[in-house]
Amino acid sequence: MSSVFVVDRSGQEEIITIEPGETLMQAISNSGMPDMLALCGGVCACATCHVYIDAAPESVMSGMDEDEDVLLGGVLSRQENSRLCCQIRLTEAYDGLRVTIAPEE
Amino acid sequence: MTAQELSERDYFTDPEILVDPYEYFNALRSQGPICRLEKYDCLLITGFEEALEVWKNPIDFSSVNSLASAAFPLPFEPKGSDISEQLDEARDKFVGHDMVVCYDGKHHTKVRSLISRVFTPTRLKANNVFMHDYAQELVQRVVARGSCELVSEVAAPYVTMIIASLLGVPPEDRVKFEEVIAAGQTVGSIEHADSPTDMTSMNFIAQFMAEYLQDRMKNPTGDMLTELTQSSYPDGTKPDLSELVGLSAFLFAAGQDTSAKLLGNAMRYIVDIPGLQQQLRDDRDLIPWMIEEVLRLEGSSKITARLAVRDTKIGDMDIPAGTRVGLAIAAINRDPVKWGEDANEFKLKRPRIREHLAFGRGVHTCAGAPLARAEVIEIINAFFDHTSEIGFNEAVHGKVGSRKYKFEPSFIIRGLDTLQVEFKA
Ligand code: HEM
Ligand code: FES
């Protein structure tokens, strides 16, 4: 079983088991972490699933498409390592991924 | 009527509750955020936090009854602390069980991944020109006449054409669908207690979708149906045709009544709240804020449902496997614990407004929300472009403060059956 590490806005870290095929947003959301608002349910329309990637396979940063880039363009807290985690589709390769939930806009 | 008497009425069949479901839900709320409907042996949630907990727990709460409703009795006798196997065997006895909104677990994740692939911002944007032109055309036509029946003459054809154009339904077939939908039974009908949700129009649409999809496999175009035929699941396997047919039909149908009714609901606020119409005309950037507050106060979905598949909890409350739970969106979105004492009032730019639950939350969150918002914003702008004032026919609907409306006879859909609107050029 693969797992990822998620740090919430208070700095608290949780270990979350992941299912290949789901998105990182779905995994975090289903774990009940209240900081993962994900208001649009993963259709790349709200940016409330913004995370910083702390440690990850290379492919995570290179996987961003234009829609995500445009939406993140309007986010003040965007950094080099920003991603909208509803756009990250998980595979076994993501085992050990570490992310921090970005501050609320 | 006392709160006690009101709360004892039957939400799923009583035509009087249609007029003001909020009063009924307030009466229920006085019993606590989760209450029991004895007649149906189910729970009904009116509390925001409690509902959120259920929406965000798809492991313990199945969506199998989200169309059948919480009132629909289980087709089996639940046994023990985990009924997932019993449910798997009886799934096909739930109306709508083959629609994505009723799927659970891995099957849902797979099909939902197809939706996120095709319902992208880029694709919606590409349809904006069509949406704009069609909104202008429809609005100019009715404004020239000075009045119209908003629901059947504008709202319904408008939303049908837009989703049809997005999917790639040929223009000559669009009218056929419109007619079948208009003639069909509403979803969650209070007049058909034994089968409140009927799949006849859905099946009609599905037959056509099957033809289109088979055609697109041979003759690909740039439309959404073509993209569905070319899509695969995250594990690389291909969806079979029947899955794509069901999904296309659902995408077509899911936003018909809901989006169309949202326009009528929004008009009631625009016309009846003193000063609001002029405020919005003066500053069009306020229109999206108005829509969000209307979605909260008067969203077009009043209720959905879940089924506890194993013993679980909501807050401190023990929920045994087999419990049916109604999520009363119309009540949840007015919970004073979340929204404050003015929860029943219209307030532009309400703090944290975007957290309302008109589109649900969690894995089944409405995928069409961006489309629904864009549609309604576009057509309201078109009405403002071509009129100086919008009002209602007082001979039909009465005066402000004592309006009379006929509502869709549905326990799911909140919206007007008809709305007679008048325009000043
Ligand atoms: C104002 C208009 C609309 C409202 C109020 C609305 C409401 C909802 C709600 C509350 C749900 C979640 C149900 C649940 O959790 O049990 C939902 C799901 C869904 N809606 Fe909408 N909807 C609207 C428009 C649309 C449109 C225009 C489309 C697409 C064309 C659409 C497509 C869907 C789909 C595909 C789902 C199922 C998602 C899933 O199960 O994963 N909706 N809608
Ligand atoms: S959940 Fe809305 S953009 Fe990711």
CA distance A2 to chain B (A): 16
A28 touches A36 (CB < 8 A) = yes
How far does residue B251's CA lie from ligand 1's centre (Å)?
9
Q: Which domain holds residue B375?
A: 3-424
Q: What is the DSSP letter of B204?
A: H
- What is the CATH classification number for the domain harbouring B247? 1.10.630.10
Chain A residues interacting with chain B (CB cutoff of 8 angstroms):
19-23, 26, 29-30, 32, 37-46, 66-67, 70-71, 86, 89, 91
CB atoms inside a 10 Å sphere around CB B186: 21
Between chains, do B365 and A20 touch, taking CB under 8 Å as contact? Answer: no
Task: Please report the pLDDT score of residue A10 as a whole number.
Answer: 95
Query: Whole-angstrom Cα distance, residue B368 to residue B279?
Result: 28
Question: Structurally, how many domains does chain B consist of?
Answer: 1
DSSP E strands, B32-92: 34-37, 42-45, 61-62
Q: How crowded is the C-beta side of B234, counted as CA atoms within 13 Å?
A: 21
Strand (E) or helix (H) holding A4: strand A2-7
**Alpha-carbon torsion B362, B366, B372, B374, what sign?**
positive
User: Do the Cβ atoms of B48 and B335 come closer than 8 Å?
Assistant: yes
Residues in chain A, total: 105
How many percent of chain B have pLDDT more than 70?
Answer: 100
How far apart CA B383 and CA B289 sit, in angstroms, is: 17
Torsion angle of the four alpha carbons B6, B10, B14, B18, in this order, in degrees rounded to the nearest 10: 70
Q: Which of B209, B366, B379, B414 to mutate to test the pocket of ligand 1 (most atoms within 8 A of CB)?
A: B366
Any idea where the domains of chain A sit in the sequence? 2-101
Chain A residue with the nearest C-alpha to that of B109: A22
Residue B249 contacts residue B157 (beta carbons within 8 Å): no
Considering only the beta carbons, identify the residue of A39, A44, A86 that sits closest to B121: A44
Residue A42 φ/ψ region, left for φ over 0, alpha for ψ in the -120 to 50 degree band, beta for the rest = left
| CA B316 from centroid of its chain's CA atoms | 30
- Site to substitute for ligand 2 among A37, A68, A86, most atoms within 8 A of C-beta: A86
* B118's tokens: 């095709």
> What is the b/e burial string over B139-150, where b = at least 16 CB atoms within 10 angstroms of the residue's CB?
beebbeeeebbb
Residue of A24, A43, A91 best to disrupt the B interface, most CBs of B under 10 A: A43
**Which residues of chain A have a pLDDT value below 70?**
none
The DSSP call for residue B33 is S
Nearest residue in A to B370, CA atom:
A45
- The verdict on the CB of residue A25 being under 6 Å from ligand 2 is yes
For B163: left if phi > 0, alpha if psi spans -120 to 50, otherwise beta; the answer is alpha
Q: What is the mean pLDDT of each run of 10 residues along chain B (425 residues)?
A: 83 92 94 94 97 96 95 94 97 94 96 94 94 97 97 94 93 84 81 80 91 96 95 95 96 89 97 97 98 98 97 97 98 98 97 97 96 97 98 97 93 95 95
Question: What is the model's pLDDT at position B338?
Answer: 98
The confidence score (pLDDT) of residue B202 equals: 87
The correct CATH number of A2-101 out of 3.50.50.60, 2.70.180.20, 3.40.630.10, 3.10.20.30 is 3.10.20.30
Which tokens belong to B49?
């936090």
Q: How far apart are CA B391 and CA B166, in angstroms?
A: 32
Instruction: Specify whether the CB–CB gap between B391 and B421 falls below 8 A.
Output: yes
Q: Which amino acid type is present at position B205? A: I
